[in-house]
Amino acid sequence: LEYIEQSLPGILANPLVINKNALTNLQNATFLVLCRNQDVYELLETIQSVQDRFNHRYGYDWTFLNDKPFSVDFVNTIVDYIPRGRLNFGQIPPEQWSYPDWVNQTFAAEQRESMANENVLYALSESYRFMCRYYLGFFYRHELVAKYQYYWRLEPGIKLYCDINYDVFQFMKLNNKKYGFTMTIFEYSKTIPSLWFHFKQFIKENIDYNPPLLEFVQNDDTLTSYNECHFWSNFEIADLSIFDNDQYNHFFNYLDQTGGFFYERWGDAPIHSLAILLFLTPNDLWWFGDIGYYHAPYLQCPQLAQLRLQNKCSCNPNEDFTDSFLSCTRHILDIINSY
Ligand code: GDP
Ligand code: MN
C-alpha cells in the first residue's frame, strides 16, 4: 500500500496519517482507541461493530494511540476495514508513559506487592497504571487528538448491539452536551483508599462554589462519604474542552503529585468522574441509554422493545446492567432530571 511504502521497510512514520475521501457536514470528531499491536484482532471486532452499526453512514476519523510504535502488520490489518475518513496512528511520548521523578519507585513496588496480596485487579501491573495516568493527564494533548472537538473513546473487544441511526457528535453539539456515557459502576475500594481525602483537599484549596453534581458520589450532602460511583470510562463521547484547560490540568497535577497512581492503583474512570462532577453541570451530561454496548463483563441493552426493533438490537434486555446493584445510573439520572 502506497502510504506504507513511503516509510522505511518495517517502520512506520510517527505520526502516520492516512487520508481517505472525507464526507462533508461532519463534526470535528474522532474515535479514539489506545491499544497494543497484539490487540489488533480484538480491535477488528470493535471496528466492525462501530462501522456497521454507526460509522458507515458518516465516515468519522479514527485515531489509534500506542505506547510502542505501531507495526506495519497492525496498520495493514485494519486499514481496509475503514473505507472513509482519516486514520491517525500515533505513538505516545515516553515521558508520558513512565514514572514522574517525584514518585518513589521502591515504595511503589512494595505497594504493588501488598495490593497483590489483597487480590486487587491489576495489582502488579505497571503498564496499567501508566495507561490510567495517560487517560487522565495526557490523551487530550496528543497532537493527533488535540485538533478535534469531540472524541468517542473505544476499546478493543467492545461490541455495539444496536444501530445508531443519528450522528451522535452532532447530537452533542446541537444539545450542548459535553460528556456522554453509557454504564456507571461502583469502584473497587482497595484501588483508591486515599483518593477521596486528596479530592476533598483539592476542593478546600481550589473550589469556591458548590458543585451541583457532587451528590452523584455521595449518599448524603456532607463531604464525609464517598460512594465510589463513576462513569465507566471505556465508553465516552465527550468534548475535549473538558480537559484541555488550566483548571483541569491543575486538578490532574494536584492528584498526580500525590503519587496515588503508583502507590495505589487509581483508575482513570473514578477520577474522570470526579473532574466532571467538579467542572460540569447536570445539563452538560447525557446518558446514551439507546446505545446497546458491551464491555466485558457488562452490557447495556435498551429496555424498550420498540426501540430495540427499530434499531435492530441483538442484545438480551434481561442482561441490562442499568438496574444492577453494581450500577449507579438511576442515581445520576435522578440528579440530572431534578436539576
Ligand atoms: P480494563 O478495561 O480496566 O480491564 O483495562 P483494559 O485492559 O481494557 O485497558 C484500557 C484501555 O487501555 C484499552 O483500550 C487497552 O487497549 C489500553 N491499554 C491497556 N494497557 C495498555 C498498554 O500497556 N499499552 C497500550 N498501548 N494500551 C494499553
Ligand atoms: Mn477495557
Sequence-distant (6+) residues with CB within 8 A of 116 are 123, 124
Q: Atom 22, ligand 1: which residue's CA is nearest?
A: 127
Q: How far apart are CA 321 and CA 302, in angstroms?
A: 10
Q: How confident is the model at residue 5 (pLDDT cuts 50, 70, 90)?
A: very low
Q: Atom 7, ligand 1: which residue's CA is nearest?
A: 128
Positive or negative torsion for Cα 304, 280, 273, 237: positive
The pLDDT value recorded for residue 8 is 54
- On average, the pLDDT of the chain sits at 94
The residues spanned by each domain of the chain are 2-337
Lowest average pLDDT, out of 6-20, 221-235, 301-315, goes to: 6-20
Which residues sit with their C-beta closer than 6 Å to ligand 1? 34-36, 39, 66-67, 127-128, 131, 155-156, 234
**Amino acid letter for position 301:** C
Say if residues 202 and 251 touch (Cβ distance below 8 Å).
yes
Given a cut of 80, whether residue 186 has pLDDT beyond it is yes
- Radius of gyration (C-alpha) of the chain in whole angstroms: 20
Beta partners for 181? Answer: 287
Pocket test for ligand 1, best of 31, 32, 33, 35 (most atoms within 8 A of CB): 35
Sequence-distant (6+) residues with CB within 8 A of 200 are 223
- For ligand 2, a single-atom ion, the residues with CB < 5 A are 155, 234
Pocket test for ligand 1, best of 131, 158, 272 (most atoms within 8 A of CB): 131
| 236 given a catalytic annotation | yes
Q: Per residue, what are the HEC states of 291-333?
A: CCEEECCEEECCCCHHHHHHCCCCCCHHHECCCCCCCCHHHHH
Sequence-distant (6+) residues with CB within 8 A of 296 are 157
Which of left, alpha, beta for 66 (phi over 0: left; psi -120 to 50: alpha)? beta
Query: Who has greater pLDDT, 8 or 103?
Result: 103
Q: Which ligand is nearest to the CA of 294?
A: 2
Catalytic residue among 155, 187, 228, 236: 236
Q: What is the mean pLDDT of residues 77-93?
A: 96
Residues 319-333 pLDDT 10s: 999 999 999 999 999
CATH 3.90.550.10 fits 2-337, yes or no: yes
Residues 171-182 pLDDT 10s: 999 999 999 999
Q: Atom 28, ligand 1: which residue's CA is nearest?
A: 35
The pLDDT value recorded for residue 222 is 57
**Closest atom of ligand 1 relative to the 157 alpha carbon:** 8
The pLDDT value recorded for residue 218 is 84
Q: How far apart are CA 273 and CA 285, in angstroms?
A: 11
Q: How confident is the model at residue 273 (pLDDT cuts 50, 70, 90)?
A: very high
Q: How far apart are CA 170 and CA 124, in angstroms?
A: 41
Residues 31-82 pLDDT 10s: 999 999 999 999 999 999 999 999 999 999 999 999 999 999 999 999 999 9
Sequence-distant (6+) residues with CB within 8 A of 233 are 135, 153, 268, 269, 272, 273
Q: How far apart are CA 174 and CA 27, in angstroms?
A: 11
Pocket test for ligand 1, best of 36, 37, 135, 266 (most atoms within 8 A of CB): 36
Given a cut of 90, whether residue 95 has pLDDT beyond it is yes
Q: What is the mean pLDDT of residues 199-208?
A: 95
Say if residues 60 and 26 touch (Cβ distance below 8 Å).
yes
Q: How confident is the model at residue 339 (pLDDT cuts 50, 70, 90)?
A: confident
Q: How confident is the model at residue 7 (pLDDT cuts 50, 70, 90)?
A: low
Given a cut of 80, whether residue 296 has pLDDT beyond it is yes
